[in-house]
Structure 1
Amino acid sequence: MSSQLLEALNVLEKEKGISRDVIIEAIEAALVSAYKRNFNQAQNVRVDLNLETGSMRVFARKEIVDEVFDSRLEISLDDAKEINPGYDTGDVVELEVTPKDFGRIAAQTAKQVVTQRVREAERGIIYSEFADREEDIMTGIVQRQDGRFIYVALGKIEALLPVNEQMPNESYKPHDRIKVFITKVEKTTKGPQIFVSRTHPGLLKRLFEIEVPEIFDGTVEIKSVAREAGDRSKISVAAANEEIDPVGACVGTRGARVQAIVNELKGEKIDIVHWSEDPVTFVANALSPSKVLDVQVDEGAKATTVVVPDYQLSLAIGKRGQNARLAAKLTGWKIDIKSETDARELGIYPRADEPLLPVNDEDDYEDNPSEDLE
């Protein structure tokens, strides 16, 4: 058994990163428990494991006392001096009590400990690997599904994709390759549990980091993301260098970069707008593709009133209010949209105190603006 145990310890140390000393201590502790369990012993014992010879010896540890009350734990001074005249009261004597058939039990116990430690080591490695990848994106392979989860293989472990994190416009089949966003990594008694998402706004952000080098290297920054997964999303981008067009960088030549993301998200429309620290400009940009005539800001309520041309009202609001809702999420401002006619009747437009916004005829990128008019 010695050569097999040595080989197992070497594999654990080299491949799993577990110290040999740690394994030996664990085996010795397990052998103590096995000895007490199999031989009905309650005494204080120590197991000595000799890797060179393969021998395993059990020693009972007894304290030297003047008067013995429990012979399993204590020994008299006179009896101790027969073993070694140098012993004195308070010392500990070790007596070998190795049973004849202890080798078989020891071998089985050692095997169980090594197997358990290998399993724990693999779980620890997987947990460490994925704990650092929370809020990151990975490519997985769909394995199976039940009523609660789709199980996605991420290397050696299956991640869980809950029903509420699945995109409504997608169907998942075994062996499909999908990109997922890691939302949570938990350590459990059965090993690490990894939860992933296809609907999280972070997935959209990570996809842009992959497709747009300027975002990956920090030249262009994604400031905010608003997403209604499977239908439409908005992102705001900015660049410290005024010579760089952040929207153009994200769109790519002939829309190639953003189209790759749209394809990955199965046709989800994406609006890319310029971010601005000025709420007037930012809110106007966020309502793209609608044109905006005026934005009035209430700083205290963090609310805005937006005036748009009459013919642009439905476009500004969007289907089921989606465009306005996403713009509010993107900017963090409440948005109340008024048509030009209604604003004039209310006397809030035009304003005499401030210049009106210029109507910008240059569209930011938007996948299919005509659908907002339906």
Structure 2
Amino acid sequence: MSSDIEQAIRFICEEKGLSYESVLETIEVALVAAYRKDYGNKQQNIEVEFDASNGDIKAFDIKTVVVDVSEEELEAQRARQAEKAEAQVAERAAEDADGRKRRARDWEPETGVKNEDADDQIVGEDEEPMFNPKTEIMISDARVLKMGSEVGKVLRIELPIPGEFGRMAAMTAKQVITQKLREAEREIVFNEYKEQEGEVLIGTIQRREGRVVLVDIGRTAGVMLPQDQVKTEHYNSGDRIKVYVREVSLGSRGPQILLSRSAEELIQALFELEVPEIAEETVKIKGIAREAGSRTKIAVATDDDTIDPIGACIGQRGVRIQTIINEIAGEKIDVIEWSEDPRTFILNALAPAKIAGVELNEEEKTATISVDPEQLSLAIGRGGQNVRLASLLSGWKLNIKESSKSEEQTAPSQDGEVSEPVIDTEEAVIDSEEANS
């Protein structure tokens, strides 16, 4: 029959999702801190064994056996170390603007980081620590405690536990346990969501904090930064939404999970969820161009002649595509067929406009698109959106001009060339940004 302590440990494991071994290790670390608080000293390298079945505690001082070092050698080492430390303090004091002085034993020679074991280390100028009384024991002393001790062996010296721990030691142990359990839980949450990085999760809107939206995604809350939000969407507490896990990192305050509703990857993930042919890679997504909240163009292709890639994405009576559109709050989606031929792909990318002709400049990777006058506004799109998305999707710079029918009615310019209305995709981008600002 398990003890009350063991049952409590197992309850914590189930509640926090932690392993039994990690919780037991945390308790042992806390007991080390408590023992050091009440009974230990700085020269002890304490390790505790805790038996959860009966509550027994055993404490040990762990030492590595080393060769004997004479007192004269130790004194010489101390003197050299003191001289070096004084020189470092003087140099650091000269460099510090505020003239702060720090004791040499509290600082590492090069990094300036506090060294808690500085008192225990006696080192030479260009050599490793010669003797550390906290973790090492000379062989002559070791053989007094245990016959047959050899250099390099680890000696476990059992320490007495005079009585119960005091109030301060108990508080120290409690703080250590709380901190260690919190760290272990954070690491488990981080590992769990790190594996889901790049996937779509279903979450519930918790609240807004300034311009940031917090989303409950299960064991923790994710963050949607302003750039990951869609301007046309409203995020109300309690709303359930699908979010793309953009990045998972572990900071000082625990795991930070960045979520997105504006990423192009969200569109791809939604298609993978709704279209079995894409999930099975029978139909492949070749590219996505998106202006979140407004319009998306997605290029698809397949090597299977029996499958219509566009029809597979749209679904019977448009069920599949409509499900995705509903999930992204009515954002329009154009599904086009990808082609290896740039001319054909550009024609498809500019849909629904009807294109009269395409002239390609392979060196500059630009394309001049001719359209009939009645198709000009459709090819350009509102604020240049259609041609801008087509350019992003195809990877070509697209210039839109009216076809030859209107050119015949256009008067020659002073240099003898025909003046044509040309729409540049870069200008369309600038115009759109100015309109949105």
State TM-score, norm by structure 1: 0.79
The corresponding residue for 2:37 is 37
Q: CA deviation at 1:105?
A: 6.7
Counterparts of 1:7-86 in structure 2, within 5 Å, are 7-11=7-11, 16=17, 18=19, 20=21, 22-39=22-39, 41-44=41-44, 45-60=46-61, 86=147
Q: CA deviation at 1:237?
A: 1.1
Distance 2:24 2:361 in 1: 70
Counterparts of 1:81-160 in structure 2, within 5 Å, are 86=147, 94=157, 96-102=159-165, 112-160=175-223
Task: Read off the aligned partner of 2:379 and give its amino acid letter.
Answer: A
Q: Deviations over 1:199-223 (max 9, x none)?
A: 1111112222222222222222211
The corresponding residue for 1:254 is 317
Distance 1:215 1:57 in 2: 60
Q: In the alignment, which of 236, 249, 267 is matched to residue 204 of structure 1?
A: 267
Change (3 A) 1:321 1:95: closer
Change (3 A) 1:18 1:106: farther
Whether the 8 Å CA contact 2:139–2:149 is kept in 1: the answer is no
Change (3 A) 1:348 1:207: farther
Distance 2:287 2:403 in 1: 29
Distance 1:253 1:333 in 2: 33
Whether the 8 Å CA contact 2:29–2:176 is kept in 1: the answer is no
Q: CA deviation at 1:101?
A: 2.8
Distance 1:222 1:164 in 2: 24
Greater shift in the superposed pair: 314-323 or 233-242: 233-242
Whether the 8 Å CA contact 1:214–1:220 is kept in 2: the answer is yes
Distance 1:338 1:48 in 2: 82
Change (3 A) 1:169 1:112: same
Q: Deviations over 1:32-76 (max 9, x none)?
A: 333333446212144343444422243456879798999998799
Q: CA deviation at 1:315?
A: 0.7
Counterparts of 1:237-316 in structure 2, within 5 Å, are 237-316=300-379
Greater shift in the superposed pair: 278-287 or 28-37: 28-37
Runs (5+) with no aligned partner, structure 1 = 350-374
Q: Secondary structure at the match of 2:351?
A: coil
Whether the 8 Å CA contact 2:336–2:348 is kept in 1: the answer is yes
The corresponding residue for 2:394 is 331
Q: Secondary structure at the match of 1:262?
A: helix
Q: Give the CA RMSD over aligned residues.
A: 3.5
Change (3 A) 1:27 1:95: same
Give aligned pairs, total.
Answer: 345
Distance 2:344 2:387 in 1: 15
Is 1:319 aligned to residue 382 of structure 2? yes
Q: CA deviation at 1:295?
A: 0.9
Distance 1:274 1:189 in 2: 47
Q: Secondary structure at the match of 1:301?
A: coil
Distance 1:237 1:74 in 2: 71
Whether the 8 Å CA contact 1:305–1:336 is kept in 2: the answer is yes
The corresponding residue for 1:367 is none
Runs (5+) with no aligned partner, structure 2 = 75-119, 121-132, 411-416, 421-437
Greater shift in the superposed pair: 157-166 or 261-270: 261-270
State TM-score, norm by structure 2: 0.69
Q: Secondary structure at the match of 2:189?
A: helix
Distance 1:258 1:165 in 2: 23
Greater shift in the superposed pair: 242-251 or 3-12: 3-12
Distance 2:291 2:281 in 1: 26
Distance 2:142 2:257 in 1: 60
Q: Secondary structure at the match of 2:289?
A: strand
Distance 1:212 1:220 in 2: 9
Distance 2:339 2:310 in 1: 13
Task: Read off the aligned partner of 1:130 and give its amino acid letter.
Answer: Y
Whether the 8 Å CA contact 1:309–1:340 is kept in 2: the answer is yes
Greater shift in the superposed pair: 115-124 or 291-300: 115-124
**% identical aligned pairs:** 41
Q: Deviations over 1:74-121 (max 9, x none)?
A: 79969975x77x467979583633232337777666655554444333
Change (3 A) 1:317 1:66: closer
Distance 2:407 2:38 in 1: 89
Whether the 8 Å CA contact 2:34–2:173 is kept in 1: the answer is no
Q: Secondary structure at the match of 1:102?
A: coil
